[in-house]
Copies of this chain bind each other. A is one copy, B any other.
């Protein structure tokens, strides 16, 4: 089979104006970036239309290192719906340059279910991540300057909690000391860089209603504390307006097309392990304004992405999916059935069966939100019928629909049965009203415990002394009502990346808590999850090249 980039290159792209027209987006309002990409202004969102649209969430079982194919399935489902005559838009996150040049590769789908132009989407795209990086680091520069100018006075902050971000995998930047070499070069300070998808500004952009709301939230970001414990915010630094100016274009979602020329909206890119992992509310609502069916994804396994999608994004946006698709692969199921990594592509009925526990826990979790569930098996060439039948039977026993997703190899045609299953469920058996895992009035500690126990299957939660101190601070700030965003490894229900399958009764350790007062949630850091990834021994960058004007090595 051809590589992703070969397929992308052979696709016949339509001018983006034609794509916009298909879903009645006003051509005078869009802002082109070349022939095939456009930004759509926030003001085109129509809440009445949003309320009438059918939202579908695509999530997954606990992933392997290779991923599950959630984005490919999301795009494939949109293609399948188009094939059966439905009006559908897929609403995705933007890829990050860090993993794209590191291990994971791009994030624009795969095979015959991609969003295009994939080279641009996987690289700088419309500059949204760069705008976020600039905005974040501009705040830091202004804050360091504030500290520099106020050293020795009572305006000086005793504690600074704002760091820096770059859209790159660079472990050396995790812990740094700045301001060295004499007083004209600033004051020595501990700092560090996180990857741009972990920036609070990314979360804010993804949760904001409009530019005014964005500016209000930017102003609310807590940068540090005075000796007397009082907070110091971006508004106190008097630069909320300037920072918002840097995001004036980034707030508008991006329109592109799929390999079969249907519209796709791509906007925002928080990772679900270290952040809330969903595309922007603005993008989802923009898609819902313009299509009867909107497919969106939540990052990594359903314990991470989908939990945050429901408890944070849906709660805040007032939206609710008609249906949740859980994507699985035979490889990942076998891995959860204790089959060694090197053997997961081989037939192994016993290993597969043993891995069903992981799937079942995700089904149970999605049902706890009131969701109707469909399991989509993302089919690989080495999958055998016997294994597929086994998974299908298992799903039927659980009372959930099952469908194959073959869009990677076959495009929309490969997702027609999945699309039909989706429509059938939405028509006959749509999800109930959302039930959340916790209520806003629950204390942060209770929220963490409810997620840990009900969603992860933990027996208990242990908080570090540092985390406990933060809970006191949160109480003092009067923000106990904020939702909780748990940063945790994507490879396990637990905080141990090597504990596959399902786990019962384990202890989840919360090492730190970070207040995101602009995003209006608190981040609880479980185990030793890193907010700045490193590069592997053989980075993907070595495969990337440009030859005769054609980009090679992106996937």
Interface residues of A in 461-503 (CB under 8 A from B): none
| Chain A interface size, under 10 / 10 to 19 / 20 to 34 / 35 or more | 35 or more
Contacts of A142 in B (CB 8 A): 101, 535, 539, 541
Nearest chain B CB to A176 CB, angstrom units: 5
Q: Count chain B CB atoms within 10 A of each CB in A141, A248, A542 and give the residue with the most.
A: A141
What 1/0 mask marks residues of chain A from 294 to 332 whose CB sits below 8 Å from any chain B CB?
Answer: 000000000000000000000000000000000000000
* A551 CA / B246 CA spacing, docked (Å): 10
A538-552 to B contact mask, C-beta < 8 Å, 1/0: 010111111101011
Bound together, the chains give a CA A424 to CA B175 distance in angstroms of 62
Q: Give bound CA distance, A177 to B169, whole Å.
A: 17
Q: A215 — nearest CB in chain B belongs to which residue?
A: B546
Q: How many copies does the complex hold?
A: 2
Decide if A241 is an interface residue (CB 8 Å cutoff).
yes
Q: Is the CB of B187 within 8 A of A238?
A: no
Q: Is A140 part of the contact surface with B, judged by Cβ < 8 Å?
A: yes
- Nearest residue in B to A120 (C-beta to C-beta)? B249
A86 to chain B, nearest CB (A): 32
Given contacts A167-B134, A177-B177, A242-B544, whether A551 and B101 have CB atoms under 8 Å apart is no
Q: A130-B124, A242-B545, A244-B546 are in contact. Are A539 and B180 (CB under 8 A)?
A: no
Q: Does A131 contact B (CB under 8 A)?
A: yes
On chain B, the residues within 8 Å of A421 by CB distance are none
Instruction: Choose one: B130, B172, B249; the contact of A178 (CB below 8 Å).
Output: B172
8 Å CB interface, A238-273 against B: 238-239, 241-246, 248-249
A101 in complex: contacting residue of B138, B144, B179, CB < 8 Å = B138
Q: Is the CB of B544 within 8 A of A245?
A: yes
A209 to chain B, nearest CB (A): 15
B545 and A241 form a contact (CB under 8 A): yes
Q: Please measure, in the bound complex, the distance between the C-alpha atom of A134 and the C-alpha atom of B133, giving whole angstroms.
A: 10
Known A-B contacts A123-B245, A542-B242, A544-B242; A144 and B171 likewise in contact (beta carbons under 8 Å): yes
Q: Does A97 contact B (CB under 8 A)?
A: yes
List B contacts of A124 (CB < 8 A): 127, 130-131, 134, 246, 249
Decide if A211 touches B546 in the complex (CB within 8 Å): yes
- Nearest B residue (CB) for A193: B178
With CB as the reference atom, state the residue of chain B lying closest to A187: B172
The answer to whether A149 has its CB under 8 Å from any CB of chain B is yes
User: Whole-angstrom distance between the alpha carbons of A364 and B191 in the complex?
Assistant: 50
Q: Which stretch in A26-34, A46-54, A279-287 binds the other chain?
A: A26-34
Q: Which of B149, B189, B249, B541 contacts A172 (CB 8 A)?
A: B189
Task: List the 8 closest pairs (A to B, CB-CB), nearest first.
Answer: A241-B545, A172-B186, A130-B130, A141-B170, A242-B544, A175-B181, A145-B535, A242-B541
CB-defined A-B contacts under 8 Å, sample of 20: A101-B242, A123-B245, A124-B127, A127-B130, A130-B130, A130-B134, A138-B168, A145-B171, A171-B185, A172-B186, A172-B189, A174-B186, A175-B178, A177-B177, A239-B541, A239-B542, A241-B546, A242-B545, A245-B545, A248-B551
**Contacts A124-B131, A176-B177 supplied; 14 other A-B pairs, CB < 8 Å:** A101-B142, A124-B127, A124-B246, A138-B168, A141-B173, A145-B539, A172-B187, A172-B189, A174-B185, A174-B186, A241-B545, A241-B546, A242-B542, A242-B545
The interface of chain A, by Cβ under 8 A from chain B, is 31-35, 97, 101, 123-124, 127, 130-131, 133-134, 137-138, 140-142, 144-145, 148-149, 166-181, 184-187, 189, 191, 211, 215, 238-239, 241-246, 248-249, 534-535, 537, 539, 541-547, 549, 551-554
